Amino acid sequence: GTQIAQQVDLKKNLFFFVCQGTRDYNPKQMAIREKVFNTIISCFKRHGAETIDTPVFELKETLTGKYGEDSKLIYDLKDQGGELLSLRYDLTVPFARYLAMNKITNIKRYHIAKVYRRDNPAMTRGRYREFYQCDFDIAGQYDAMIPDAECLKIVHEILSELDLGDFRIKVNDRRILDGMFAVCGVPDDKFRTICSTVDKLDKMPWEDVKKEMVNEKGLSEEAADQIGEYVAVCVAGGMDLAERLLQDHKMSQSKQACAGLSDIKLLFSFLQLFQVTDKVVFDLSLARGLDYYTGIIYEAVLTQAGVAAVSNEAQNGANAEESVSVGSVAGGGRYDGLVGMFDPKGRKVPCVGVSIGIERIFSIMEQKAEASAEKVRTTEVQVMVASAQKNLLEERLRLVTELWNAGIKAEVMYKKNPKLLSQLQHCEESGIPLVAILGEQELKDGVVKLRVVATREEIDIARTDLTSEIRRRTSEA
């Protein structure tokens, strides 16, 4: 039933009312969204972040040259006179623009907002053209790998608290990738485009990735095979893999790769102190598409529950080989050059950050909510002001005013003479726990009949005690 209803809704979205790849949130979905946001924001605040906001559109030139091959997915606004504008593609570039514009060299901030990509929507799998990102970034000149490790700690905390099943955080470093490309014989000017192809390894088998490198990107077969040896063979590990690669006769020829590998080792030592190595793997095949990364990169994926047990190499990082990924839910990395691109003098501000992509998380939470018997409340109303008799509209409005003025969340039916039954039904449907019932007799006696919806118990309460009684009965213990 639900399955069919959803398909019909999707059809309506696609062909009639709203733009392809976008959706409305109904009150139930909003209640779930609020819960997810609260968990994420609490974590960001626990780590001392401030928050900022930026406009939904940026000057087109601000976004130009930042996203590599993904630039074609940027939404432009129509030229209606004035500046050329584009919808933001992520929150990282606007953040870098904000830092340069305000000459800020030190900040730890979070930003939760919608971003826009003209991608092929796959809404059943939580891929939309308008979607939320929850970003946490640390800008400033600090000692190596400490802020980077905190970003991973944050991903670990959020995914654990949301209780979405098992997950894995893959880590790599652009310097290691670049070093590897160099020692495998990739020409310098092909680093970024080959990196984009390596990024597809989580969706395509190695053979297809190799084909793209050789046939489309014009890489020599030999270089491709050498890359294959690294990314397809010694994929995932922990500190031990970093150590092994540092000993590797070819890899050790690249200064860049060695710097990256040493930092991976340092990172893991901090991750041990942060108690998160159980979920983190050093994965040579992780590339990430965006152009602006300069150091460490990472991506968190949910692993299909039950498919594979997590091997707990708590000291060295876990082994991800057997588990099946069901999709990325967070990603990020270090981008030390981006702020400088917006500064007239090119002054750099080192940055590292993480972006939680919550649409997939929403999908999972929604499925969970549907599966559970518990009803999601969409309002917080404490009491309904009702009457059993006719001609008491004025008295109901007077009482509900008293309650509102005292800060009680209260509702009244917008009818002159509503039936008591329909007033009670509304309470049942929307989970309102109490009803304050007025009648001629109660008014004469200066009392209100307070009914507990769940038990149908009714007690007369002196009008002067009503607000405190409602508060007492609806306070969350």
Instruction: Find the binding residues for its own copies in span 402-441 (CB under 8 A).
Output: 404-405, 407-411, 414-416
Instruction: Please state, in angstroms and rounded to a whole number, the distance separating the CA atoms of residues 89 and 120.
Output: 15
Whose Cβ is closer to its own copies: residue 228's or residue 433's?
433
Q: Is 77 annotated as a binding residue?
A: no
Stretch that binds its own copies, among 168-176, 297-305, 372-380, 454-462 (CB under 8 A): 372-380
At closest approach, how far in Å is the CB of 176 from its own copies? 22
Please identify which residue in 55, 165, 185, 346 interacts with its own copies, judged by CB under 8 A: 55
- 141, two tokens: 């000149």
Per-residue binder mask for its own copies (CB under 8 A), 101-140, x = binder: xx----x-x----x-x-x-----------x-------x-x
In the sheet that holds 447-452, the strands lie side by side as 410-412, 383-387, 434-438, 447-452, 458-462
CA dist 473 and 238 (Å) reads 53
Is 23 one of the binding residues for its own copies (CB under 8 A)? yes
Closest CA to 179 of 246, 254, 235: 254
Tokens 């940026």 belong to which residue?
58
- 163 forms part of the interface with its own copies (CB under 8 A): no
Distances in Å between the Cα of 62 and the Cα atoms of 88, 95, 109, 263, 344 are 10, 11, 20, 31, 13
- Complex with its own copies: residue 79 or 229, whichever CB lies closer: 79
Site for its own copies in 181-220 (CB under 8 A): none
| Dist. CA 138–CA 471, nearest whole Å | 42
Q: Cβ(153)–Cβ(169) under 8 Å?
A: no
Q: How far is the CB of 37 from its own copies (least distance, A)?
A: 12
Residue 221 lies near its own copies (rule: CB under 8 A):
no
Q: Which amino acid belongs to residue 99?
A: L
Kindly list the distances between the CA atom of residue 293 and the CA atoms of 66, 205, 362, 468, in Å, as whole numbers in the listed order: 10, 25, 27, 57
Is 132 known as a binding-site position?
no
380 lines the binding site for its own copies (CB under 8 A): yes
Q: How far apart are CA 226 and CA 257, in angstroms?
A: 15
* 347 interacts with its own copies by CB under 8 A: no
**104 or 232, CB closer to its own copies?**
104
Please tell me whether residue 51 binds its own copies under the rule CB under 8 A.
yes
First-to-last alpha carbon distance for the chain, in angstroms, is: 37
- Among 26-34, 232-240, 355-363, 443-451, the segment contacting its own copies (CB under 8 A): 26-34
Residue 78 as a binder of its own copies (CB under 8 A): the answer is yes
30 lies in the binding site for its own copies (CB under 8 A): yes
Residues forming the annotated binding site for L-histidine?
A: 90-92, 117, 133, 137, 288, 292-293
